[in-house]
Amino acid sequence: MIPALRRYARALARDADIADDLVQDTLVRALRSERLFLGGDVRSWLYTILTNLNKNRRRSLARRPQFMPLLENNPDASGTEAESRDIARALSTLVEEQRAVLLLVMLEGLSYREVAEIQGVPIGTVMSRLARARAHVKASLEGERPALRRVK
Amino acid sequence: MTDRNIPVTEDELHAYVDNELPAERRSDVEAWLATHPEDAGRVQSWRAMAEALHARYDSVVNEPVPKRLELERLVQQPRRWLYGAVAACLLAFVAGGGTGWIAHGAVAASPSSFQMFTDDALDAHRLYVVEVRHPVEVPGNERAHLQAWLTKRCGWTVRAPELDATGLKLVGGRLLPGPTGPASFLMYESASGERFTVYTAKAAIETTQMRYTTQNKDGAMFWTDRGVGYVVSGSSDRERLAQVARLVYDQADKGEKSGG
């Protein structure tokens, strides 16, 4: 479970240290919480905590200038470096909710229903976020300048 | 009840790629794609996108998990009975064998004795004083906002006391899960980088007597005031800690009186 959480966090937050901070905070919160004892799906619940922590983190950063790393310092093992930078860059142009949906469905393999519960929205909203995210990333990968339209 | 003649919608294309489409509609979509190259191209591009994501990020799964994320480390904290139980569950999932949570009975009660309460506060203290990047959620230069926010979320008057007399400046604060609800957490720092934290949460313990405890290199002062428990954590130097706690105590008291 922890390796998968780290993968999701890395894709969500880009920066490896921030990503592991998120995972650590998620685990600490999970271990501190007693909600687990009410039952439910632990996997979804951990993704929910991490998604929310990242949302909160970004919210608290929103009022400050943001610095992006100039270079990804973790080129992947497979695939070309340029390709991986492209997908990472394409992800970074997505609004938060869309990036989370895209990663949870396409990378982590969660169902629409699970993602709807994680984000606290109807399944229809998940589907429209996913459709917009895919269109946006596709355009970005194909070299179009992505429209920085903020859509909910 | 599907019909080949019903046009395939964009939603269905997504659902098809994500294996969310009802089985009986899959062949319809496949037939549709065979005759609609534009849609087939989009489906193909989404699959390529998924491959690119996996190619980029799957390597993270194979990295060794950093020490600080090892459950044994996170578990070596107070409230071991609780950590142990949840950690066992998490580990079960790590091992891939998690089938469900069955130990409900093991932890029915949630005691909040003075010791437990202080353990929680020290736990938060240790977790956040080492943070360089984001020790707090709201910085100390937004004091009024911080106080208003924590007061609203916690339900009692949260004031960030002035501790300048002891050489401490407010770094900021954050909201935490407490034993029975929200907890407020304030951090202070001296010019030399020494950090103190003030933790408050609802406490069903009727005592106003200040108590002192020490764990490893950290010390904590605990007291309650009108149903709210306070823990000042920091240096294990008892005198220094008492000096800080006294200032917090005096100001919290004043705040309550002028506030109501």
In this structure, what DSSP letter does residue A36 have? G
d(CA B241, CA A53): 32
Confidence of residue A73 (pLDDT cuts 50, 70, 90): very low
Judged against a pLDDT cut of 70, whether residue B113 lies above it is answered with: no
- Closest partner CB to B53 (pick from A56, A87, A131): A87
Confidence of residue B150 (pLDDT cuts 50, 70, 90): very high
Q: What is the structure's pLDDT at B33?
A: 95
Kindly state the tokens that stand for A59: 């919210």
B251, B227 contact by CB (below 8 A) = no
Confidence of residue B101 (pLDDT cuts 50, 70, 90): very low
If DSSP codes are grouped into helix, strand and coil, which group holds residue B250?
A: helix
Contacts of B45 in chain A (CB under 8 A): 138
In angstroms, the separation between the Cα of residue B238 and the nearest Cα of chain A is 28
Q: Do B74 and A2 touch (CB under 8 A)?
A: no
- Closest partner CB to A3 (pick from B65, B137, B177): B65
Kindly state the tokens that stand for A141: 């990968």
In sequence order, which residues have a C-beta less than 8 Å from that of residue B10 and are 6 or more positions away?
A: A131
In sequence order, which residues have a C-beta less than 8 Å from that of residue B97 and are 6 or more positions away?
A: none
Contacts of B177 in chain A (CB under 8 A): 29, 32-33
Q: Do B74 and A87 touch (CB under 8 A)?
A: no
Residues recorded for chain B = 260
B96, B117 contact by CB (below 8 A) = no
d(CA A83, CA B52): 8
Q: Do B82 and A31 touch (CB under 8 A)?
A: yes
A140, A89 contact by CB (below 8 A) = yes
Contacts of B180 in chain A (CB under 8 A): none
Q: What is the structure's pLDDT at A86?
A: 83
In angstroms, the separation between the Cα of residue A95 and the nearest Cα of chain B is 17
Which residue matches tokens 């070299």? A143
Looking at the predicted complex, does its ipTM rise above 0.85?
no
Q: Do B101 and A23 touch (CB under 8 A)?
A: no
Q: Do A78 and B59 touch (CB under 8 A)?
A: yes
Q: What is the structure's pLDDT at B144?
A: 94
**Gyration radius (Cα) of chain A, Å:** 16
pLDDT digits (tens, 9 = 90+) for B151-191: 999 988 999 999 999 999 999 999 998 878 899 999 999 88
Contacts of A20 in chain B (CB under 8 A): 66, 68-69
d(CA B67, CA B253): 43
Confidence of residue A124 (pLDDT cuts 50, 70, 90): very high
Q: What is the structure's pLDDT at A145?
A: 52
Q: What is the mean pLDDT of chain B?
A: 79
Contacts of A29 in chain B (CB under 8 A): 177
In angstroms, the separation between the Cα of residue A3 and the nearest Cα of chain B is 5
Q: Do B83 and A31 touch (CB under 8 A)?
A: yes
The whole-number average pLDDT for the span B191-214 is 82
d(CA A109, CA A102): 10
Q: Do A87 and B56 touch (CB under 8 A)?
A: yes
Helix or strand run (H / E) with residue B140: none
Closest chain B residue to A140 measured between Cα atoms? Answer: B49
Cβ contacts from A onto B, under 8 A:
143
Q: What is the mean pLDDT of chain A?
A: 79
In angstroms, the separation between the Cα of residue B185 and the nearest Cα of chain A is 15
B185 strand-pairing partners:
B174, B199
The whole-number average pLDDT for the span A83-112 is 90
Q: Do B68 and A24 touch (CB under 8 A)?
A: yes
Confidence of residue B117 (pLDDT cuts 50, 70, 90): confident
Q: Do A112 and B20 touch (CB under 8 A)?
A: yes
Segments of chain B assigned E as strands: 138-139, 168-177, 182-190, 195-202, 211-215, 218-225, 228-235
